Structure 1
Amino acid sequence: MAAAGLTGVPAVASQAQSAVSSTGGAEWITLGTRGGPVASATRAQPANLLVVDGANYLVDAGDGVSGQLARVGIPTAAITGVFISHLHFDHTAGLAGLLGLRWQTNAERPLIVYGPPGTAAMTEGLVASMGPGTTAGYGIPGAAPRDPADGVRVIELRDGDSVEVGSMQVRARGNTHYSFPAGSDLADRFESLSFRFDTPARAIVYTGDTGPSAAVEELARGADLLVAEMMDVAHTVAAVRRNSPNLPPAIAAEMESHLGSHHLVPADVGQLAARAGVGALIVTHFVGIEPGEVGHADYLQTISAAYAGPAVIASDLERF
């Protein structure tokens, strides 16, 4: 195998699939692999499907997630739970549509949403926005009302929390995607989380969005699969400026500071995977030079300078 699995998806997928059995399987499907805030014509925004022992869990729910689920043959009513890493819109925008479609199709069980502080308030707002549509319903006089709030339940998690979900243990750690001062009101109210899913088959760690983080490194130690975000910051800043040429200077400065300090670049990803000793690496939430374009292969070369295991920059709808 070439350094860092440069042969691409098959190298990682074959290793991952070898750990999946019919009685204790765990499959990771990248539904959306494009980081925000600029939408892409070719890739959906961050969302993943984790299938464990036949149960379906979303890990982040970016814009377009319901359509991506349809493309892999999973109806919205078949989702058991959702894990939200943090409250930025590219990771949550698809949740409103998911809740509405589940209401329309009369999903049998409430959807359980696990997420950081603020998830309950966000979800309450989404349910409130469903009021006019659910009240009008299908326009049939005398139809029995169905409260959309009955279709969702929220469990908020904080740094260090652990919860049993189905046949897996899920552990959350706060990461460095936010840098609110310790002890401040905002630090108390909001966290960005990374998750470790210890399933009967294997351990999968999802960074969500983060900068370099000792806590995420500890969380990922010895995992079979690390799913890590990655950005080409200069490329992303240029894309934002093209998309929003009239962005006020103060907001542009905040955006550039955030992108530069709260995300992982290729060298960071390679070092994280190597230090944690993970079995394989999947890069997602990717914004940069696209596959097939000159310079794309340089990202994997940079990762391989630190991490010798199999690695791939994922596309939408790939299975691992």
Structure 2
Amino acid sequence: MAGHVHFLPLAAQSQARKSVFTYLNPDVREKLIDHGKLMRIDSQGEALDPRQSPPADGVALNLLGPIPLPLGRGHEQPTVDWYAAVRSTELGQVESLANTLRDSGGQHLFAELVSSMAVNSVLAIGDAANAESPLVRVHSNCLTGDIFGSRRCECGPQLEAALDRISQDPQGGYLVYMAGHEGRGIGLWAKAATYLLQDEGEDTYQANRSLGLPDDSRDFSDAATLLKFFAGDRPIRLLTNNPKKVRDLTELGLADITAVKHVIGVDDNNRRYLEAKREWGHEIGEQDLRTDD
């Protein structure tokens, strides 16, 4: 054989799949902490010492940023401050796993052990830090809509419109992009299956139930933690048509939320999908579902 094949123990492979791509060289990590670019917050949005072990009895988030990010999306195409956020529990044993890969000659495995770990993002837009009531969008990721531009849903237009609305708002605000929310929390593979069921006549919620899955299994606890850190006690104006999202964030400790209707991108491809959302409880009126044609 031309080369050698090195294997990790199965347990190490499993853990590596979860966390290896969160690895930061210890020297780089220290530099980022010294420069105030790597932070840790608890579930109440309060700062923790990133050099100390996170609390074992609660969720802590690690934040990288701010990172200037000129956007080529929406009409405004703003330059925003990007923060990447990940749970501390996802970062455990990263250094030892990375060392194991290197010591076993397994550098080539890094590209194969792609993590499904959710790394969420916050975009701070305009003068959000000084806003009396920042405009906020908590956006669930949607590969088909956000990236491919699919019109089976309105996610892509909602994302673009949110960037524009926050950029144009005199106070500015935040876009929280939830990376682990594909398909209202069921994941991309199951979402693809629901599309096939929808093509056979089921609506988006019926298709979830046919697979034995919840109508909406999204967890907004990390979004609430991030908003507590960035918005603090300030009231927020939330771009959403979904009363459940408002209830969930309120139950998670955000006390002053005003919902702002955010209907955009309606066409013949997604009208049935939006009608199902309205029947499920979204604040979408009959007038909202009309198109120019």
TM-score category (smaller protein)? under 0.3
User: Structure 2-normalised TM-score?
Assistant: 0.27
Structure of greater Rg: 2
User: Structure 1-normalised TM-score?
Assistant: 0.25
Higher strand share: 1
Higher helix share: 2
Name the structure, 1 or 2, with higher relative contact order (CA <8 Å, separation 6+): 1
